[in-house]
Each structure stands twice: as C-alpha cells, then as structure tokens.
A = this chain, B = another copy of it.
Amino acid sequence: MEIKPKTVKSAQLKNLIVKQLYFDNALSCAELSELFDKSIPSITKAVNELITEGFVVEHGYAPSSGGRRPLLYSIKPDAMYILAIAMDQLSTRIQLLDLLNRPVADSLTFDLRLLNNDAALATLVKSINSYILKSGIPKEKIAGIGMGMPGFINVRQGINYTYLNAGSKSLVQYLHDEIGLPVYIDNDSSLIALAEQRFGIAKAQQNVMVINLGWGIGLGMIVNGEIFRGHNGFAGELSHIPLSDDDALCACGKRGCLETVASMQVVAEKAIEGINSGRATSLKDTGAAASKALLDDILDAAGKGDQFAIELLSDAAYKIGKALAILIHIMNPQTIVLSGRGARAGKILMAPIQQALHKYCIPRLAESTQLLISDLGFDAELIGAAVLMMENFEKEIKSVSRLEV
C-alpha cells in the first residue's frame, strides 16, 4: 500500500515527538516548537492527535517564569512496549520494557553460547517468541526489538560478522521475518555508552567515553551526542592499542595489547597463580580455571578489603588508566564512565586510574575530563537496547498508525 506523502510528513513529526518525550520526561508545546523548529500551532495539532491516539497525556503545569504556565505533555508509558535483549558470549537476557524503561514482565536469562554454535540463532528466536507469548502482551503493542551483542557489527545492514550468521539474509532481516517485529542491533559496549548518555550518569553530554568492564575491556564512544563507530564500525578498539613493547602475546596476534595486561581475564589468572603460590587471601581456587564465579569472588573480596584482591585490581586499573590517558589526549571527552559488570568495583579502580591519568596526561587535559562510575550497572545494556529501538523509531513511519487500535 502506498503511503500518501502528506501522511508521511505528519506521521514523521508525530514520531519525532513521541521519541523526544521518551527521552525527555515532559515538555511543553513551546519547547517542542523550539526543538523541531516548527510553529506552535503545528505542534499543538500533532500533540492533540497523539493524545486522541493514546500516545501522549497531559502532565500538569510547569512553574512559570513570569507568564502563563505552560501545559506539559508526557508519553503514556504503556502506549507501547520495547523488547530489549542483552547478549554476551555465554548468556542472553530478554526483557520487555515500557516507555519509562520499567520492566513490564519478568526478565528471562538463559545460557546461549555464541561461539561455534550453529543452533544459537534458532534458540534465540524460539526464546524470544515464547517470551513474548508468555508475557501476555500482544505483538501489536510492541514497537520493536533492540539488541546488544558482542562482535563486529554493521549497524546499517544489521549484520554481525562475528556471531549469529543468518545465511543469505541479514541477522536483522532474519529476526524480523521470524518474529514479525522491527529489529535493531548494535555492539554491546556501544549500547552501554548510549544508555549512560541518555538515561545514566552522563545524561545529555555530547562527548562521553564509556568503558565496559567485563571479561575484556570494551569502549563505547559518544561523539557529538551520538554513538561513534568509525569508518567500518571498528572504532573504539581500546583493548588492542600498543601499550608496551615486550609483553604477553595477545589473541589478536600482537604483543603489548592492553587486553593482555589489564583485562579481568588476566586478573582472574593472576588470582589463581597467587592462591596456588600461597598468597595471604580469602580467595580460593575453585578448580574451574578463570571462571566468572572467580571474578565475582575477586570483586567481592576486594570490596571487603582483601589486600591481594585489591592489589590485583589496582594493577589492572593503573594500566587501564594509562590507556585512558591516551584516549583523553585524542578525544578530549567531557566524561569517562566506568560501566559494565566490573563497575561494581568502581571505587577500588578509581584511585589507580586517577593516578595514571595524573602521570600520563597533560594536566589541563586531565582536569577537563571527569571520571565517573555508572549507576545503571547491570541494566545498562538492556536500557541501551531499548534506546537503540527508540532512536530508530522515527524510521518506522507506520509505527504510530500500526499501533493504533
């Protein structure tokens, strides 16, 4: 069916307003008019249509600055829902969120190995479809799916070159065909950065670097208020910059990568070494070499004051700090955020990182960047996935009308 251009333009403005209200809690017509460079009558008309369509509600009056009080409008949280998916190498989380990023159904976490697993894609589709079914939310009320995953991703084409090959179709196209909802994917670290910049500790900042402290060291870059991916989507490869000339061989084939000296994997390996050589520590070698449980133990122990655990983390953090010094010289960010699983140990990491920054940064540069610890924590990637979906909402021209009952 052909869509009349007139309808498209009008729908675009309405989608833009919905998107804006998703990001900014409540806004007046005057503010929206300013924001989109449209006249107040045009905005009023669009907003009123959105109210009758059930997407927008009045939200009381804002305090006046010397004139009539503006009527605020906000999004109706249950006007539609977003399916957010956060994957890592071993497990996947699915959660349905409303337009205030609040869960509307229990999250589902299940093991899903991405590497060398031909069944992964089919399992994922089955899990998503059954999750939606179990939630009791009709598909028509779900605006779409946002998904974060590791690997090298072509966002525009919706392909992950590393995992979940969907054969002749793109991953996004395949998922869309199997589930019947629009799907958007992006790199996990990028989505964490997006979450921090839209709803986290770096809200609305234009220039933010977010460190994803997980098993490896990821970097999500926000440049001019948007995710930055570089020419081929490879930007932010912080963990493989050459830091020292004569260190261990990295999986990437080079020597001296940050990853070989400062990742949580290395921390865990060193912990086992230390335990076995009789270091005084509350940590125990559980047998499973470098498991996730051990990493959690180390973070816990450090939090409780275990000197050995603190030492391990500090060593890693100092080296991360040196890499961040380089990043600051090149990007001059307003903020660096420590996020991801490892952000739990943020307070312990902070001091050695700052120390390295002072040693390796021009003072003026070190002073102009603030180092913060995420407060979104484990939810960051899920929220980032939801944001990704809403970022692309204006492209779904038919969305508003499709969702009309």
Taking beta carbons and an 8 Å cutoff, which residues of A are in contact with B?
206-207, 219, 223-224, 228-238, 240-242, 244-245, 252-254, 322, 325-327, 329-334, 359-360, 362-365, 368-369
Contacts and interface: CB of A to CB of B under 8 A. Distances in A.
B332 A237 contact: yes
Contacts of A232: 332, 368
A289 to B, nearest CB: 26
Contact of A236 (B231, B330, B333): B330
Nearest to A365: B234
A333 B228 CA distance: 11
18 contacts: A206-B231, A207-B231, A223-B223, A223-B224, A224-B224, A230-B331, A230-B332, A231-B368, A231-B369, A234-B332, A234-B365, A236-B332, A237-B329, A238-B329, A253-B362, A327-B330, A330-B330, A330-B331
Contacts of A329: 237-238, 240-241
A326 B236 CA distance: 10
B242 A325 contact: yes
Most chain B beta-carbon neighbours within 10 Å: one of A223, A229, A331: A331
A340 B327 CA distance: 24
Closest 4 CB pairs of A and B: A230-B332, A235-B332, A231-B334, A234-B332
Given A234-B364, A237-B365, 13 more contacts: A206-B231, A207-B231, A223-B223, A224-B228, A229-B332, A230-B332, A241-B326, A241-B329, A241-B330, A244-B245, A254-B360, A327-B330, A330-B331
Contact of A322 (B219, B233, B242): B242
A28 B234 CA distance: 36
Contacts of A325: 241-242
A195 to B, nearest CB: 20
Contact of A326 (B234, B326, B334, B359): B326
A401 to B, nearest CB: 23
Contacts of A244: 245
Contacts of A363: 253
A365 B360 CA distance: 26
Given A242-B322, A326-B241, A230 B333 contact: yes
A367 to B, nearest CB: 10
B360 A242 contact: yes
Contacts of A237: 329-330, 332, 362, 365
A242 B326 contact: yes
Contacts of A224: 223-224, 228
A223 B207 CA distance: 13
Nearest to A334: B231
Given A207-B230, A368-B231, A240 B362 contact: yes
Contacts of A230: 207, 331-333
Contacts of A236: 330, 332
Residue from A230, A237, A364 having most chain B Cβ neighbours under 10 A: A230
Contacts of A207: 230-231
A87 to B, nearest CB: 22
Nearest to A356: B242
A326 B242 CA distance: 7
Contacts of A369: 231
A253 to B, nearest CB: 8
Contacts of A206: 231
